[in-house]
Amino acid sequence: MCVNPGMAVIIGNELLLMESVGHNVLMGFKVKRVLYQAKSPYQYIMVAEIEDFGKALVLDGLIQSSERTEYIYHESLVHPAMVLHPNPRRVLILGGGEGATLREVLKHKTVEKAVMVDIDEMVVEAAKKYLQEWHQGAFDDPRSEVVIEDGMKYVEECLKRGEKFDVIIMDLTDPYGPEVSKGLYSREFFSKLSSILSDDGVLVTQAGNSFFYRDVYDMVLENIRSVFKHVEEYMVWVPEFGYANNFILASKVHDPRSLKAEDVNARLQERGVKTKLFNGEYYEALIKMPIIRG
C-alpha cells in the first residue's frame, strides 16, 4: 500500500495518520485500511477507515470529517444560518465537497435551489463513490446544482449576473491553510458575498480555531464585522479535529440573539427538518457560549 509521505507513519504493525492540531500539537489516528487515495491538481485526497471514527475524508493529511461524528460539524455549520433566515429559498455553498452540507441545507422545505461550488472535482467524485453516508443522495436532488469552479470566480460571475442568495455557507479550508485560502476570508471577498446576498441575507463560515490560531481567527472575525451589521461567534467540539471548531454567523438585518429556542424549534418543525443534534436549545447555547481564545 502506498501512502503519501508525511500523512502516515508505521509504528510496529500499525499504520497511524498523524495530523497537526496546532502549531505544536499532533493528533494520531489508527488506520484500519485505505479505501481511496489520489493526487488532484489541488490536494492529496484519501478516504480511509479510522479506528473509532469509521470512514473519513482526509485532504492533505487533515481529516475533514468522519462517518461517526460528521453530523456534529455539518449540523452546527448549516442550521444556525438556515433558521436565522425566515424563508431561505436560494442557498449558496462554497466548498463542502462531501455533500453533507448540501444534505443538511436540503432538509429545509423552503429551499428551492441549492448551489454547491467546489474547486476539486476529484473530491466530489470520491464523495459520490465512497461517502454515501455523508451526501445521502443530496447530489441527485432536483433542487441541487453542483458547480466545479473556483469559489472566487463563481462569486464574480454572480455579481455580473446580478444573482442573489438568501443564505451563503462557507465550508472551505481553514483560513490558516494554503495561501490561496486567505483571499476567501478577506474583507474584499466578504464584501462581494454581501453584494450577492438578498437584503435580509445570512452568511455563515467555519473559521478554524480561535485557541491555536487566534491571530488568524481574529482577522477573519474583524473582516466580517467590517461588512455585516450583526455578527455572532460560536464554537463546537468536533472529535476528529481534536479541538472546538469556530463558526461566524452574520446578517445584514437579522440579529442571531433575537432568535429564541422556541422560534428555532418552530421553524425546524414547519420545514420538516430532522436532526441528530441541532434544536432550539442547542442554538441558544451556541450563541450564549463564550469563545475560548489562545
215 in a known ligand binding site = no
88 in a known ligand binding site = no
Instruction: Based on DSSP, count helices (H) and strands (E) in the chain, helices before strands.
Output: 10, 13
Q: How far apart are CA 283 and CA 279, in angstroms?
A: 6
Say how many C-beta atoms besides its own lie within 10 A of residue 22's C-beta. 14
Instruction: Write the CA distances from 17 to 37, 66, 99, 126, 209, integer angstroms.
Output: 14, 13, 24, 19, 21
60 in a known ligand binding site = no
178 in a known ligand binding site = yes
Q: How far apart are CA 141 and CA 145, in angstroms?
A: 9
Q: How far apart are CA 92 and CA 98, in angstroms?
A: 15
Tell me the three cell numbers of residue 64: 475533514
151 in a known ligand binding site = yes
Say how many C-beta atoms besides its own lie within 10 A of residue 276's C-beta. 9
171 is catalytic: yes
| CA 26 centroid distance within chain | 22
Cell 461517502, residue located: 131
Q: Among the options 52, 60, 141, 171, which is catalytic?
A: 171
End-to-end CA gap in the chain: 39
**Residue type present at position 38:** A
Say how many C-beta atoms besides its own lie within 10 A of residue 290's C-beta. 7
Are residues 228 and 192 in contact, defined by beta-carbon separation less than 8 angstroms? no
99 in a known ligand binding site = no
- Pick out the residues of the known binding site: 43, 74, 98, 118, 150-151, 178
- Pick out the residues of the known binding site for spermidine: 74, 98
Active site residues: 171
- Pick out the residues of the known binding site for S-methyl-5'-thioadenosine: 43, 118, 150-151, 178
